[in-house]
Structure 1
C-alpha cells in the first residue's frame, strides 16, 4: 500500500508535518515575546506606585 501511493502524497504529508512544527515553534516564540512585553509594561506601571510608597514611608516617619 505504501509503495502504491503517488509521490505527491509524501510531499503533502511532509508539508503538513513541517507546517505543524513551524506553527508550534513560532507560537511558542511569540508567547515569550509577549510575556517579556507584559513584564516591561508592568514595570512601567509599578514604578510610580513604588515611589509613592517610599514617599509615604518617609513622610510617616
Structure 2
C-alpha cells in the first residue's frame, strides 16, 4: 500500500491515462489519414475539371478552324 491506497489502484490510473493517450493518438492519425484522402480526391476532381476544360477549348478551336 502506498499512502493508504492499494498499488493496483495506481496501476489502474496509469492504464486509464495510457488508454486516453492511445485514443488521442488514434484520433489524430485518423484525422491525418482522412485529410490525405480528401486531398487525393480533390486532386482527382481538379484534374478531371482541367481535362474537361481543355477538351472544350479544343472543340472550340476546331469549330473556329472549320
Aligned Cα RMSD in Å?
A: 1.9
Which structure would you say has the larger Rg? 2
Query: Is 2:22 the counterpart of 1:41?
Result: no
- The TM-score normalised by the length of structure 2 is 0.75
The structural deviation recorded for 1:54 is 2.6
Structure 2 runs not aligned, ≥5 long: none
The DSSP-based 3-state class of the residue aligned with 2:3 is coil
| Count of residues in Structure 1 that have an aligned counterpart in Structure 2 | 60
Provide TM-score, normalisation by structure 1. 0.80
The structure showing larger relative contact order (alpha-carbon pairs under 8 Å, at least 6 residues apart) is 2
